[in-house]
Amino acid sequence: MNALETPRRAAPIDRQHALDLLYEMKRIRRFEEKCAELYSAGHIRGFLHLYIGEEAVAVGALRALTPDDAVVSTYREHGHALVRGVPAGAVMAEMYGKANGCSRGRGGSMHLFDAGRRLYGGNAIVGGGLPLAAGLALADRMQNRPVVTACFFGDGAVAEGEFHESMNLAALWKLPVLFLCENNRYAMGTALERHQAQTDIQAKAAGYGVPAAAVDGMDVLAVEEAARTAVSIVRAGGPFLLEARTYRFRAHSMYDAELYRPKEEVEQWKQRDPIRLFETRLLAEAILTPEDIAALEVRAAADVAEAVAFAEAGPWEPVEDLTRDVYTPRAGDSSGRPGLNTAAASDADKRRPRP
C-alpha cells in the first residue's frame, strides 16, 4: 500500500487542547532535565536515557489512544509513562530505586511498568517490545476486546529480526498493532544511513502489505493527527507503521561520549525544538499569551519538585524482601533457603559422577 500523506490541521486549535499539549511537553522536558541533574549528583544510578527533543512524539501519539489500549515502549520511556498517566512521583521514585516506584524500585529507568494503565514496559532489549506487542494484540483479539496496542521503538530496532517477525505476524494475523518508530537518526550511536540500506523506514511496511506513513516528529499537532488516522485504520482491522522523524538533543545515555555526530548538527536541530515551535505558533495565532506559557512553566516545575520530594521520602525495599518474586520455595524445602529443594539436591548430588 502507498504511504499516507501526513495530515495537516485545517481547523483552529482549541485553547484548552493547546494548553494540555504544551504542558505535557514542558513537564516531560523539566522532568528529564531534573533526572540528568539527579543522576550527576548520584541520586539516580544505572542507565539513564533522556527523551529531550522527542516530546512531541509521545504527547501527540498517546492522545490518539484510549485508556483501554495497551502501550509497549523502549528504554527511553519516561515521557511515554508520564503522558500515559503514571504519576510523576511513582516514575521518579522508580528512578531512585525506591519501593514506592511504579515497579517497586526493581526496574529503574528502563523498566517503568503499570499494568493498571496497560503500560507494559519499558523494555531494555533493543526491539524487545515488538513481539510483546504482537502477543498483547493477539490476546486482545482472541478475547474480542476492541483495543489497540501501540508499540514504540527506535530506528535501531528496525535492524533487528524482531521487527520483521512481528510485522509479518501482525500482517498475517491482522493484529491491531500500531508500530510507531521514533526515528531519531542515530539509534544507539550509528547514523541511520550507516546501518540501513533503506533509510525510508515507513517504506519497509510495503513488504508485508502493511499501510504506513511518515510524520514530522517535531510537530506535536502533526503527530497527533497522523496517530489518530493510523489508530482508526488499526481499529478497522490490521497493523499500521507510523514513522515519526525526530531527534534527541542529548546523548544516547548519560554514559555516551557522543562522538558520532557534530555539535553543529545538534544545534541546528534545536532550532526545531518541538516546544519552541508549538509556542511560537500558539503566540502567533493569539491562542495563548506569554503569561499562559509562564504559568505552564511554573506548574511543570512544581510537579517535578513534588515528584522529587515523593522519591526522596520513599522507603527502600526491606532486605528480607529482596528474594520475593524471584524464588518460590518448593515442596519439601526445609533448608530455609528460598527456591532450594534439599531432597532433590541430595539425590542429584548422589548421581553426580565422582572424579
CA neighbor of 79 nearest in space, from 37, 151, 150, 27: 27
Number of domains into which the chain is organized? 2
- Give yes or no for residue 109 having a pLDDT over 80: yes
Q: Tell me: do 246 and 268 sit in the same domain.
A: yes
Burial of 191 (0-12, 13-18, 19+ CB in 10 A): middle
Q: Tell me: do 221 and 242 sit in the same domain.
A: yes
Q: What is the reported pLDDT for 353? A: 43
Q: Which helix (H) or strand (E) holds 279?
A: helix 274-284
> Is 10 among the domain residues?
no
> Is 8 among the domain residues?
no
Instruction: Give, to the nearest 10 degrees, the angle between helix 55-62 and helix 15-40.
Output: 130
Q: How confident is the model at residue 209 (pLDDT cuts 50, 70, 90)?
A: very high
> Is 240 among the domain residues?
yes
For the segment 206-228, the average pLDDT, to the nearest whole number, is 98
> Is 143 among the domain residues?
yes
The pTM score is 0.89
Q: ∠35-36-42 over CA atoms, to 5°?
A: 85
Structural domain of 338: 323-355
pLDDT in tens, 236-259: 989 999 999 999 999 999 989 999
Q: For residue 245, give the CATH number of its domain.
A: 3.40.50.970
**Percent above pLDDT 90 for the chain:** 86
Q: What is the reported pLDDT for 9? A: 53
> Is 1 among the domain residues?
no
Query: Cell digits for 138?
Result: 493477539
Query: Cell digits for 347?
Result: 539425590
Query: Cell digits for 252?
Result: 544516547
Reduced to 3 states, what is the DSSP secondary structure of residue 301? helix
Q: Tell me: do 166 and 274 sit in the same domain.
A: yes
pLDDT in tens, 126-182: 999 999 999 999 999 999 999 999 999 999 999 999 999 999 999 999 999 999 999
> Is 42 among the domain residues?
yes
- Distance CA(53)–CA(296), nearest Å, equals 18
Q: Tell me: do 181 and 330 sit in the same domain.
A: no
What distances in angstroms separate CA 63 from CA 60, 92, 237, one per listed residue?
A: 6, 23, 20
Task: Please say whether the beta carbons of 103 and 48 come within 8 A.
Answer: no
Q: Tell me: do 291 and 347 sit in the same domain.
A: no
For the segment 339-350, the average pLDDT, to the nearest whole number, is 42
Q: Tell me: do 267 and 342 sit in the same domain.
A: no
> Is 284 among the domain residues?
yes
Q: Tell me: do 296 and 277 sit in the same domain.
A: yes
Q: Tell me: do 209 and 341 sit in the same domain.
A: no
pLDDT in tens, 54-99: 999 999 999 999 999 999 999 999 999 999 999 999 999 999 999 9
Task: Please say whether the beta carbons of 290 and 232 come within 8 A.
Answer: no
Q: How many CB atoms lie within 10 A of CB 8?
A: 9
147: left (phi over 0), alpha (psi -120 to 50) or beta: beta
Q: Tell me: do 201 and 266 sit in the same domain.
A: yes
pLDDT in tens, 288-329: 999 999 999 999 999 999 999 999 999 999 998 888 888 777
For the segment 339-354, the average pLDDT, to the nearest whole number, is 42
Q: What is the reported pLDDT for 188? A: 93
> Is 2 among the domain residues?
no
Q: Tell me: do 201 and 83 sit in the same domain.
A: yes
Burial state string for 110-138 with b = 16 or more CB within 10 A and e = fewer than 16: bbbbbeeebbbbbbbebbbbbbbbbbbbb
Q: Tell me: do 82 and 107 sit in the same domain.
A: yes
Q: Tell me: do 102 and 190 sit in the same domain.
A: yes
CA neighbor of 178 nearest in space, from 205, 217, 207: 205
